[in-house]
């Protein structure tokens, strides 16, 4: 089966077989499910869990592999659906029981893998995921659920300039803050490290480019100094190499 992946601002998803993975952690919330078999998760204490379903909280070290076709969804914690999941399940590090929306995701996943798995069918599936997340999303009105407009402006600025490394001074000035105050405010409101978030943003933006560009070209287009730095950061964040997303089978 051809591996499929889709990336947008609120979430990214992958469908395929993940036979090799490395211990890693990322700031996204993760939902993973096997088509019919099981997945094996190993944590940073080398403890293993086996289940058909996994919910993995933000910044939790894990290694997840399975022989079966799986669906993995990475969700931005600052998005409406991310906020919902954080409120309902944020007290857990790892869950192996289905969540409220798991049944609907599983049905869409099974319907897709039972069909032709064409590009059109995959597009329809990603829209179906969007519809599910819209129904379950948090209804609060705050932008990205941030109580400070300056941090929201910083996220917009980083998103618009993902193709280069934005300096701390530049983004702090854009938000009319000192560097020290900006770092404190960013961590307070997002619970994220500024540098790590910037790398995450670059990596997420790079994924679609891997479809039609070499790893070196993708690295330069996303503001990395070289392909080695890009690959190392990619593996540390996702547990796989960028080349994995370029595989046709």
**Is the pLDDT score of 115 beyond 80?**
no
More confident residue, 247 or 38: 38
**Is the pLDDT score of 142 beyond 70?**
no
For the chain, domain boundaries: 4-136, 146-246
More confident residue, 130 or 138: 130
> Would you state the pLDDT for residue 1?
61
**Is the pLDDT score of 248 beyond 60?**
no
For residue 136, what are the CA distances in angstroms to 100, 140, 163? Answer: 9, 12, 32
Sign of CA dihedral 240, 221, 126, 123: negative
3-state SS string over the chain? Answer: CCCEEEECCCEEEEEEEECCCCCECCCCEEEEEECCCCEEEECCCCCEEEECEEEECCCCCEEEEEEEEEEEEEECCCCHHHHHHHHHHCCCCEECCCCCCHHHHHHHHHHHHHCCCCHHHHHHHHHHHHHHHHHHCCCCCCHHHCCCHHHHHHHHHHHHCCCCCCCHHHHHHHCCCCHHHHHHHHHHHHCCCHHHHHHHHHHHHHHHHHHCCCHHHHHHHCCCCCHHHHHHHHHHHHCCCHHHHHCCC
pTM for this structure? 0.86
The half-sphere exposure of 30 on its side-chain side, counting CA atoms within 13 A, is 28
Q: What is the CATH number of domain 146-246?
A: 1.10.10.60
At 28-49, the pLDDT tens digits run 999 999 998 999 999 999 999 9
Mean pLDDT for 161-187 is 94
**Is the pLDDT score of 249 beyond 50?**
no
At 69-106, the pLDDT tens digits run 999 999 988 888 998 999 899 999 999 999 999 999 99
Confidence tier at 117 by pLDDT (50, 70, 90): confident
We find that the CATH architecture of domain 4-136 is Sandwich (2.60)
């Amino acid at each position: 089966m051809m591996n499929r992946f889709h990336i947008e601002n609120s979430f990214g998803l992958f469908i395929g077989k993940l036979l090799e993975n490395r211990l890693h952690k990322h700031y996204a919330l993760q939902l993973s499910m096997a088509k019919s078999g099981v997945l094996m998760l190993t944590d940073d204490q080398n403890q293993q869990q086996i289940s058909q379903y996994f919910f993995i909280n933000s910044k939790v070290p894990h290694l997840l592999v399975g022989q079966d076709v799986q669906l993995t969804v990475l969700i931005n914690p600052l998005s409406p659906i991310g906020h919902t999941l954080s409120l309902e399940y944020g007290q857990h590090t790892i869950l192996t029981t289905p969540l409220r929306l798991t049944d609907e995701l599983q049905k869409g996943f099974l319907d897709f893998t039972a069909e032709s798995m064409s590009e059109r069918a995959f597009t329809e599936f990603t829209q179906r995921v969007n519809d599910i997340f819209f129904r379950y999303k948090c209804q609060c009105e705050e932008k990205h659920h941030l109580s400070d407009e300056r941090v929201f402006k910083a996220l917009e600025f980083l998103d618009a300039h993902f193709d280069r490394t934005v300096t701390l001074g530049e983004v702090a000035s854009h938000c009319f803050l000192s560097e020290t105050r900006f770092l404190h405010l960013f961590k307070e409101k997002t619970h994220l490290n500024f540098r790590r978030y910037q790398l995450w943003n670059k990596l997420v933006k790079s994924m679609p480019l891997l479809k039609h560009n070499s790893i070196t070209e993708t690295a330069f287009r996303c503001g990395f100094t070289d392909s080695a730095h890009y690959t190392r950061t990619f593996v540390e964040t996702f547990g796989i190499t960028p080349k994995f997303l370029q595989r046709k089978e």
